[in-house]
Amino acid sequence: MATHHFQPTVYHTVIGAHEPVLHIKSGDTVITTTVDNAGRDATDQQVTPGGNPQTGPFFIENAEPGDTLAVHFDRIVPNRKIGRTATVVSPNVLEPHYVASQMPKGGGAEWEIDVEKWTATLISPDTQLGNLALPLEPMVGCFGVAPPRGQAISTATSSTHGGNMDYRGFAEGVTVYFPVFVPGALFHLGDGHAVQGDGEIVGTGIEISFDVQFTVNLIKKKGIGWPRAENDDYILAAGNARPLDQAVQHATTELIRWLEELGLEKKAAHILLGQCVEYDVGNVFDPAYTMICKVKKSILQNIGVWPPAS
Amino acid sequence: MATHHFQPTVYHTVIGAHEPVLHIKSGDTVITTTVDNAGRDATDQQVTPGGNPQTGPFFIENAEPGDTLAVHFDRIVPNRKIGRTATVVSPNVLEPHYVASQMPKGGGAEWEIDVEKWTATLISPDTQLGNLALPLEPMVGCFGVAPPRGQAISTATSSTHGGNMDYRGFAEGVTVYFPVFVPGALFHLGDGHAVQGDGEIVGTGIEISFDVQFTVNLIKKKGIGWPRAENDDYILAAGNARPLDQAVQHATTELIRWLEELGLEKKAAHILLGQCVEYDVGNVFDPAYTMICKVKKSILQNIGVWPPAS
Amino acid sequence: MATHHFQPTVYHTVIGAHEPVLHIKSGDTVITTTVDNAGRDATDQQVTPGGNPQTGPFFIENAEPGDTLAVHFDRIVPNRKIGRTATVVSPNVLEPHYVASQMPKGGGAEWEIDVEKWTATLISPDTQLGNLALPLEPMVGCFGVAPPRGQAISTATSSTHGGNMDYRGFAEGVTVYFPVFVPGALFHLGDGHAVQGDGEIVGTGIEISFDVQFTVNLIKKKGIGWPRAENDDYILAAGNARPLDQAVQHATTELIRWLEELGLEKKAAHILLGQCVEYDVGNVFDPAYTMICKVKKSILQNIGVWPPAS
Amino acid sequence: MATHHFQPTVYHTVIGAHEPVLHIKSGDTVITTTVDNAGRDATDQQVTPGGNPQTGPFFIENAEPGDTLAVHFDRIVPNRKIGRTATVVSPNVLEPHYVASQMPKGGGAEWEIDVEKWTATLISPDTQLGNLALPLEPMVGCFGVAPPRGQAISTATSSTHGGNMDYRGFAEGVTVYFPVFVPGALFHLGDGHAVQGDGEIVGTGIEISFDVQFTVNLIKKKGIGWPRAENDDYILAAGNARPLDQAVQHATTELIRWLEELGLEKKAAHILLGQCVEYDVGNVFDPAYTMICKVKKSILQNIGVWPPAS
């Protein structure tokens, strides 16, 4: 149950079987930092090329294909004052005829991050929004493990290994579960957002560098199909694909599998989800979209399948 | 500002230019009932063939193509004790390989509706869910106005005229706005759900007959592209299409149009939505899926565009 | 086996249960005309509002829900000299980023139709294409029968009843099969194209009025799920939906059903299609896209299931 | 203009920056072999794990990012007698309700390949198809260059770098163009099919090992966005994505870009494609689907833009 302080010096814009930067054990905690989507660090200096550069990978001792890796985000805090966003809703999210004739000009916007007041305040450009202040909701946009089959997958996209899911629920306090595809799992993380609208529809959240603390746990000989997570209130599954309809299919099917693993017979799982399921939209900007399928833990407790028997 | 008590005797399973059942004025209130999706009324008798039969249409005096009709749901209450659901998640919402090999058997479930305790309690079949009790969240699954071009559109689906959107937010207290396509607008409503999971993924909510009270208001010479709504906290737009990606496009574009009508310049509208937009999933079962795009009124108040200048 | 000469005076831009213009019998032939998509006739006069106005509906005596209507196109010939097209590829068919920045200006193009030389020649605007001459391939863009459930469906779109499929194979010599949903079937047709690229990606073919001759035959007590057709070389099924993936699903499933009706066991049908299936793209412009799934008659003859035993 | 005889000993199931097996020059020809999708060679021995193992990569001297690599298939011939297919249409290609209840049992089928008679003959299982014989149409299912950004992409899927496109037109005589993303381009090829239906809807063609001869040419400082190709009759572009609608967008936009490079103004390119475009369906089985957008060379010759001015 060691705590590791790790200062990254190298970053990756594909998630794959890179040389591990640190070997850790199940139960260990890592205190580290991430740069923003453009490769800028806590001092707002560009230290690596852009494209959601990832800190890591972290090698988890004893992790083997067929295991599951649990990552708990203990702490996620912006570590500089300036955050940036794009300003135009992406054309893939708008009606084609609107896109053909009505798109505004692009450009960047800057937001001042104040972790004391816990706000992000728009400081430029000068628009009718003035100095709009939004409460911080720090979240990790892109993180995951090395994908199967020797692949190395761009941090622009996502799949069964995680990746660029941009889900607002991947925030402090969440535990995320990944299938392990390679020895050591090789956990990567980056692309922090101080705030983000659902879907990341302008292609960015308020992009920021982070101080991050996370704790890993290994669940041996238990495979899962897609990233899963739990927070205080929900268990959830993520599906990453296009169209969003297919992301719905993956997320829903994975949550049913989870309910079955918790001991529900198939019929009960289907009836339950029918009236209790909730969906959240992750990314609808990237090559693969993300849909979240979730159900309240309180309902699972009522019917006696949560917490898990284990 | 009259209040009409209307007891339906005829129902429609397409939304179109049927003979009006009642002529009302802008500002009027209607107190009426709806049968359930299967055509069963408050006494649980089948009084009309199934398929989301609609009460109405109501002819709103002076409504003309190019106007907008506002419908406020004053009261939506189940009016009988028995509700019913399907029990199997629809194959279009699941991974094709799961569908090919792992689907449970079908059949119906029954739920006891208690409007005193405000619960729906599962009473059959006998599963691990036991007598799972869920808080009521009554909502109207299918409602809308006569569509454009002389069309008559099945209550199984939805489009710019509304229809079978199955959005949990279409509940008591909401005001929904529809484009008017025909003289009188011809408002229909039905398909009440006592409870429903997001997406209506088993193809039903807890299907129930309703006592309904609604109030209409006409906004002259103001056209909208897709159904809009507001509740205490949000303004929202609905997009109805497949795939869900296209529903996202319609809903997002319509909300941007609304923000522009409220006085935001295009660039400000895009920046705002980028970090503040939220999406809810309506129906992912029907021929057209429904996506909701929304933004908080409190944010619009902060930047001085809500309430509208009018 | 009568031959009817019918000169239309009324046209419809929804396909539904309109007053029949003519009652005919199974085996009868109709010689009639269609106006172009904009409602212009053989003299290029606008005689009805635009939007793919349909000639008909024709009531086929004795047609009942659950039957199949066969329509053979005996003759389809442009009956005027001027045809028109749109000139810009529709934004739904292009990459969103191209649409956002690179779309050319719109406008119409005119083509001279010469049925002697069997060519369509571009006459305006003046571009590098000069007077490009294309061989005529006359086809019917939009046709079908009254849809189920009392619906009336816009001629802009398509579904199980046919409609605006814009498939180049719906040309002289083809026999198209429709499910009958209402007494009399109520066959409509219009939207003739002198030439059309696959997908109708500019939103038009070379739009033209037609002289048409067709012959109907009724197949009693035989239901089908989607439009089917046969020509000299192929049997085929059409699926109409968005996304195109879903159109693929409908078309492929319907062709498998047809193969099973011809006597193939399910396993043989699947193996056969695996290596012998062909797909053609119908419309990718309209609200519902069209995909054609087909297989060669010669292969069916080889394995002894064509012609049908009947 | 050397000719290299290369016998592979190592194969890859991801396309990426592997150690080159051979360095060749622009203009050179390679005579080599490919194993089948399951890793079986000309003697039907499994020599490498399955999953569309690729021969290569071949390093083309002087190829740099921003160039285009042209690969001409001089000769593609099955080099053994036994080919194999799957037997069940993939559930993603069928209506979900059909999948839920009507899927046949799986299993493999075997076909005898006769390169003298130029036929593939079904030899098992025993079905109503008997010994169905199909003419050979050898094609390469999966081939391409190392993808951008240091990615390594599974041979199960496809993208801008090519990959598992399964297009029947990628046959002897075609020249395929790829964007070069890494020094040397790193060309891979494998997954030969003796015959294949459109879409590869059972998930396989008639899988076979090949003798292959191909010739490469480098086009310096000319970038393209997606794979392109030409054969005797057509120029074409491939789009690889889901849903098929997005593949249509990529392929159509890339073909327009090509037409503009040939000297057509944008407006002329749009008008031309509107009435002359043709689409072919590549893979509709894999994670990314493939759509081909093409236009006849004869039309381009008529308007004076083919052959290219160069």
CATH number of the domain where residue C213 is located: 2.60.120.580
pLDDT tens digits, B60-75: 999 999 999 999 999 9
**Is A284 part of a structural domain of the chain?**
yes
Query: C244 and C187, same structural domain?
Result: no
Largest CA distance in chain C: 58
**Is C309 part of a structural domain of the chain?**
no
B96 vs D91: CB contact, 8 Å cut-off? yes
Quote the pLDDT of residue A309. 85
Residue of C nearest to B92 (CA): C246
Mean pLDDT, range C34-48, rounded to an integer = 98
What is the percent of chain C where pLDDT is above 70?
100
Rounded Cα–Cα distance for residues C102 and A54 (Å): 34
Tally: H helices and E strands in chain B: 4, 22
Query: D168 and D63, same structural domain?
Result: yes
Residue C75 CB burial class (10 angstroms; 0-12, 13-18, ≥19): middle
B14 vs C149: CB contact, 8 Å cut-off? yes
Quote the pLDDT of residue C309. 85
**Is C105 part of a structural domain of the chain?**
yes
Residue where one domain finishes, among candidates D219, D249, D269: D219
> In chain B, what residues touch C151 (CB-CB under 8 Å)?
14, 16, 151-154
Quote the pLDDT of residue B1. 87
Query: D42 and D70, same structural domain?
Result: yes
The beta-carbon neighbor of A196 closest among B85, B275, B279 is B275
Query: B97 and B64, same structural domain?
Result: no
Query: C41 and C175, same structural domain?
Result: yes
DSSP, res A194: S
B202 vs A302: CB contact, 8 Å cut-off? no
Query: C263 and C246, same structural domain?
Result: yes
Measured CB to CB, residues of chain A less than 8 Å from chain D are: 13-14, 16, 51, 149-154, 241-243, 246, 287
Residue where one domain finishes, among candidates A174, A201, A219: A219
Query: B180 and B58, same structural domain?
Result: yes
**Is D162 part of a structural domain of the chain?**
yes
Mean pLDDT, range C52-66, rounded to an integer = 98
Rounded to 5°, the CA angle A22-A24-A29 comes to 105
Question: What confidence tier does A1 reach under pLDDT thresholds 50, 70, 90?
Answer: confident
**Which residue numbers in chain D have pLDDT < 50?**
none
Quote the pLDDT of residue A310. 67
| DSSP three-state, residue B69 | strand
Please give the single-letter amino acid code of residue D299.
Answer: I
The beta-carbon neighbor of D14 closest among A151, A154, A241 is A151
- In this predicted structure, the answer to whether residue C98 has a pLDDT above a threshold of 70 is yes
pLDDT tens digits, A217-244: 999 999 999 999 999 999 999 999 999 9
Query: C166 and C127, same structural domain?
Result: no
C245 Ramachandran zone, left/alpha/beta (phi>0; psi -120 to 50): alpha
Q: What CATH number has the domain bearing residue C248? A: 3.10.28.20
**Is A175 part of a structural domain of the chain?**
yes
Query: C284 and C165, same structural domain?
Result: no
- The 3-class SS string of chain C reads CCEEECCCCCCECEECCCCCCEEECCCCEEEEEECCCCCECCCCCECCCCCCCEEEEEEECCCCCCCEEEEEEEEEEECCCEEEEECCCCHHHCCHHHHHHCCCCCCEEEEEEECCCCEEEEEECCCCCCCCEEECCCEEEEEEECCHHHCEEECCCEECCEEECCCCCCECCCEEEEECCCCCCCEEEEEEECCCCHHHCCCCCCEECEEEEEEEEEECCCCCCCCEEECCCEEEEEEEECCHHHHHHHHHHHHHHHHHHCCCCHHHHHHHHHHHCEEEECCCCCCCEEEEEEEEHHHHHHCCCCCCCC
Domain coverage including residue A269? 228-302
Query: B165 and B262, same structural domain?
Result: no
> In chain B, what residues touch C243 (CB-CB under 8 Å)?
242-243
**Is B209 part of a structural domain of the chain?**
yes
> Beta-carbon neighbour count of residue A27 at 10 Å?
12
Is the ipTM higher than 0.90? The answer is yes
The distance from CA D79 to its chain's CA centroid, rounded to whole angstroms, is 18
Bridge partners of residue D69, in order along the sequence:
D178, D218
The beta-carbon neighbor of D97 closest among B91, B97, B245 is B91
- In this predicted structure, the answer to whether residue C60 has a pLDDT above a threshold of 80 is yes
- In this predicted structure, the answer to whether residue A196 has a pLDDT above a threshold of 80 is yes
**Which residue numbers in chain B have pLDDT < 70?**
310
> What does the mean pLDDT of chain A come to?
98
Report the gap between the CA of A25 and the closest CA in chain C (Å). Answer: 45
pLDDT tens digits, C104-138: 999 999 999 999 999 999 999 999 999 999 999 99
pLDDT tens digits, A33-84: 999 999 999 999 999 999 999 999 999 999 999 999 999 999 999 999 999 9
**Is A135 part of a structural domain of the chain?**
no
Bridge partners of residue A241, in order along the sequence:
A289
Q: Measuring CA to CA, which residue among A15, A53, A58 is closest to residue A34?
A: A53
Quote the pLDDT of residue A168. 98
Query: D259 and D203, same structural domain?
Result: no
The beta-carbon neighbor of D248 closest among C132, C279, C284 is C284
**Is B308 part of a structural domain of the chain?**
no
Residue where one domain finishes, among candidates A192, A219, A246: A219
pLDDT tens digits, A157-173: 999 999 999 999 999 99
User: In total, how many domains does chain D have?
Assistant: 2
Query: C159 and C69, same structural domain?
Result: yes
Report the gap between the CA of B1 and the closest CA in chain C (Å). Answer: 34
| DSSP three-state, residue B299 | helix
Return the residue matching tokens 């298939």.
Answer: D73
